Amino acid sequence: MSRLFTEHGINTMSVKNRFVRSATWEGRAGEDGAATADLTEMMTTLAEGGVGLIITSHAFVSPAGQATPRQLGIHDGALISGLQEMVSAVHAHDAKIVMQLAHAGIHANTELTGQAALAVSGTDDFPQGAVRVATVADIEALVSSFAQAAGKAQQAGFDGVELHSAHGYLLSQFLSPAYNRRDDDYGGSIGNRARIHLQIYRAIRAVVGKDYPILIKMNCADFIDNGLTGDDALTAATLFADEGFDAIEVSGGTILGGKLSPSRPKIATADQEAYFKEYAGRIKNATNVPVILVGGVRSFEVAQAVVADGTADFIAMSRPLIREPALVNRWQSGDRRRAACTSDNLCFKPGFAGSGVYCVTAEKETMKQSNAG
């Protein structure tokens, strides 16, 4: 049996295989951030499809941190009952589910929040008045918000929580010199830029206890001018592992884009896949915690090689599972053809149109075949 279909642990959580559904915005939550029947059905379909561990979309820990419409929230106790139903549905299919905790920071949607976006430091990139720079009191409040959100996730039955410190969201902004130009204890050295992460970890751990899995998703590099470098990311990852984080999910790049990123809009061949694997390998070699690799995996052979050679412990996918939620079951049944996802990114357009994220290309192909018949 392939190692991809063997169990592996993250703290006290045992995952039945090495496949992770990486967090993505689904656009299926309620306007207030509530878990809807539509979103629960999507999570259930992933669990039925064989995914061992599902990580929810970035759930905002405070109203000011919302990034997108119909984004999942974890800021209000009133949301817990809906989340409990979602968790129970996933558990019924022998899968685990982790809540990703997030704050968009300077990239918050001010039209949705009605508040100024919170910047790590001063910037000329946004209109005056649209942002305000975080004070130390704001940072203390953020630490508390993340800890309280983790407590709500635990109460709802989630198997763990993951901090979103990738792609230019708030915690990623603290790590990145492109965003973080502070001259206090939270700016300058990579140790200072990682300080809020360690404070949040300690605050969460005080709420959830020592046996509850706490993961972190982080950039291996920003791939933008003056962004987080691979060397600084490695230092930060070591700090996180030493502090006690139970797993590190390795991603890269920011929502600002940039030509420096190795990620690709089209992935046609095996050599274009797993584009962050060298960085993940460095982090795996430097730490003693499970590493989750996300980014461009489309073929079973690539996934198997990454786990077999010890580059990472888990393979995370997002877009392939939007098109084929049963991809893991297909591979496990012996059908090892590459994922059908064409990496065209069209799946997010219906999300912004209010219909939720889904594979537009698959829908078009189905309609074409129907018309041809």
Pairing of strands 117-119, 96-102: unpaired
Residue 54 near residue 47, CB atoms below 8 Å: yes
Residue 115 burial class via C-beta count within 10 angstroms: exposed 0-12, middle 13-18, buried 19 and up: middle
The two most distant CA atoms of the chain are separated, in Å, by 67
**CA gap 44, 24 in Å, rounded:** 15
Which 3 state secondary structure label does DSSP give 101?
Answer: strand
Q: Which residues pair with 99 in a beta bridge?
A: 161
**CA gap 105, 123 in Å, rounded:** 13
Which 8-state DSSP code applies to residue 259? T
Residue 69 near residue 25, CB atoms below 8 Å: no
**CA gap 25, 357 in Å, rounded:** 8
Q: Closest Cα partner for 37 from 78, 71, 83, 75?
A: 83
Quick check: is 212 catalytic?
A: no
Residue 71 near residue 33, CB atoms below 8 Å: yes
**CA gap 60, 216 in Å, rounded:** 15
**CA gap 322, 46 in Å, rounded:** 9
Residue 216 burial class via C-beta count within 10 angstroms: exposed 0-12, middle 13-18, buried 19 and up: buried
**Tokens 């997002």, residue located:** 318
Spell out the long-range contacts of 6-10 with Cβ–Cβ below 8 A and sequence spacing 24 or more: 8/290, 8/313, 8/314, 9/290, 10/53, 10/160, 10/213, 10/215, 10/246, 10/247, 10/290
Which one is catalytic: 169, 186, 212, 358?
Answer: 169
Catalytically active residues are 169
